[in-house]
Amino acid sequence: MSIVVTGATGHLGRLIVEALLRNGTPASDIVAAGRSVEKLDDLAAQGVRVAQIEYTDAATLAAAFEDADTVMLVSGSEVGQRFAQHSSVIDAAKAAGVSRIVYTSAPAATTSALILAPEHKATEEYLQASGVPFTVLRNGWYNENYIQTAQQAVASGTLASSVGDGRVASAARADYADAAAVVLVGEGHDGRTYELSGDYAWTHGELAEAISEVTGTPVTYAALSPEDYTAALESAGLDEGTIGFIVGLDANIRDGLLAVTTGELASLIGRPTTPIRETLAATL
């Protein structure tokens, strides 16, 4: 069995490779593929095969997917370019005759108003139309998404946002990686779509409390209106596009689009998901 993990030089892809190794998949059965293969030297030293790929370079994909059984398609990080990248990977995997594609999507991608959903919706539809057996992992938010926010809050004493009392059911990135590893080597996952999220959906008020407890620095949550938050971000020097994205995502959270706790992530990994407080304690 040969498993190609794309995006292996990124945070999630790397963790998926490590989870496969930890769970007993032979290193020789894993291909870690990414843009900067020098970042994979330590994995290569363990016997993992490495491959340099670009999501839109068919030749690099064809070489990486040769003799592959399964392709782990970790979604691209470049908003606005994802569908072109993902469809290129799917085409290459189909041409190589892979037996399955596992794809990391977004929560309720085909029906959600989430600002990030459209590219994932298009990818899921393209994947289904490809005829290649697939599994979709609709990953919720990562705890790690809030590390920089927490650091800024510690420096200023204030955690500001326009999410109101909206909740976020986040989990550690490693939790999602462990789930991917389970699906990659397990049976009965073909054709399945998993809605993955943390066990508990927290508010930003609770996040401020957790930051305060972990760091010993008092942090207060400031619930701003979208207009006031936009003005604050403008004063901080952010560009219009970035501000629109941040405030739009806050609106999604305020509307409860990231608050769903399905229990499917914990079920796949066989343990509770990692609370955001634990991630903060390990990183701040």
Report if residue 59 sits inside a domain: yes
Report if residue 189 sits inside a domain: no
Q: Which two tokens stand for residue 125?
A: 């539809």
Report strand pairing: 134-139 vs 193-196: parallel
Report if residue 192 sits inside a domain: no
Number of domains comprising the chain: 2
What domain range includes position 244?
Answer: 141-173+198-259+274-284
Looking at the fold, whether 145 and 91 belong to one and the same domain comes out as no
Determine the pLDDT at residue 77. Answer: 80
Under DSSP, the state recorded for 272 is P
The CA distance from 24 to 46, in Å, is 13
Q: Which two tokens stand for residue 73?
A: 């398609």
| Residue with tokens 């079920």, as numbered in its chain | 267
Q: Mark which of 139, 165, 189 sits at the end of a domain.
A: 139
Looking at the fold, whether 35 and 108 belong to one and the same domain comes out as yes
Determine the pLDDT at residue 140. Answer: 97
Q: Which of 6, 12, 122 is nearest to 68 (CA)?
A: 6
The CA distance from 57 to 22, in Å, is 31
The CATH code of the domain that includes 208 is: 3.90.25.10
Determine the pLDDT at residue 170. Answer: 98
Looking at the fold, whether 23 and 122 belong to one and the same domain comes out as yes
Determine the pLDDT at residue 80. Answer: 77
pLDDT tens digits, 45-96 = 999 999 999 998 999 999 999 999 999 999 998 887 899 999 999 999 999 9
Distances from the Cα of 186 to the Cα of 6, 15, 192, angstroms = 19, 18, 12
Report if residue 19 sits inside a domain: yes
The CATH code of the domain that includes 75 is: 3.40.50.720
Report if residue 15 sits inside a domain: yes
Looking at the fold, whether 74 and 164 belong to one and the same domain comes out as no
Q: Mark which of 116, 139, 162 sits at the end of a domain.
A: 139
Radius of gyration of the chain (CA): 19
Q: Mark which of 139, 157, 182 sits at the end of a domain.
A: 139
Looking at the fold, whether 222 and 117 belong to one and the same domain comes out as no
Q: Which amino acid is at 92?
A: A
Measured in whole angstroms, the distance separating CA 240 from the mean position of its chain's CA atoms is 25
| Report field, pTM of the whole predicted structure over 0.75 | yes
Report if residue 45 sits inside a domain: yes
- Cβ-Cβ contacts under 8 Å for 98 (sequence gap 6 or more): 4, 65, 68, 69, 70, 71, 132
Determine the pLDDT at residue 78. Answer: 81
The CA distance from 240 to 144, in Å, is 25
Looking at the fold, whether 135 and 168 belong to one and the same domain comes out as no
Looking at the fold, whether 26 and 86 belong to one and the same domain comes out as yes
Percent of the chain that is helix, strand, coil (3-state, to 5)? 50, 15, 35
Which residues are registered as beta bridge partners of 159?
221
Burial class (CB in 10 A: 0-12, 13-18, 19+), 26: exposed
Looking at the fold, whether 216 and 114 belong to one and the same domain comes out as no
Report if residue 178 sits inside a domain: no
Looking at the fold, whether 209 and 126 belong to one and the same domain comes out as no
Looking at the fold, whether 120 and 99 belong to one and the same domain comes out as yes
Looking at the fold, whether 89 and 145 belong to one and the same domain comes out as no
Q: Is the dihedral of CA 274, 171, 261, 21 positive or negative?
A: negative
Under DSSP, the state recorded for 142 is B
Looking at the fold, whether 154 and 91 belong to one and the same domain comes out as no
Within the chain, which residues score under 50 in pLDDT?
Answer: none
